[in-house]
Amino acid sequence: MNESNPANHSNGAHLFRLYVAGGAPNSVRAIANLYFICRRHFPESHRIEIIDVLKEPLRALAEAIVVTPTLVKVSPGPEQQIIGNLSEEDEVLRALGLPQTESKESK
């Protein structure tokens, strides 16, 4: 499975850039949570870029990333950011201006 297929982006796919700090616990959680959210909500139309700020500090600096993990929704626009391990799915979707799941009132 190739979630970073550039062809998807040209078809209106959701493009996410996740800045992490190596194998830090919150970074590992953010990666897992982002993949879960994307597979659940955008199974055929997402692209995820993982940028390790420990390996690419200048890129993080150029993008003004000072805290990890930071998720940037690049497209569809407008570009938005959220900081944290992305564990609250509905909060992540709302913060990024993406469609939310139906409420779970029937439980």
Cα–Cα dist 16/46, whole Å: 8
Q: Please tell me the CATH superfamily of domain 6-92, with its number.
A: Glutaredoxin (3.40.30.10)
Ranges of residues in the chain with a pLDDT under 50 are 1-10, 103-107
pLDDT for res 101 = 59
Nearest to residue 11, comparing CAs of 51, 37, 46? 46
Characterize 66-97 residue by residue with b for buried, 16 or more Cβ atoms within 10 angstroms of its Cβ, and e for exposed.
eebbbbbbeeeeeeebbbbbbeeeeebbebbe
pLDDT for res 45 = 87
Task: Indicate the domain borders of the chain.
Answer: 6-92
Span 40-70, pLDDT tens digits: 988 888 999 999 999 999 999 999 999 999 9
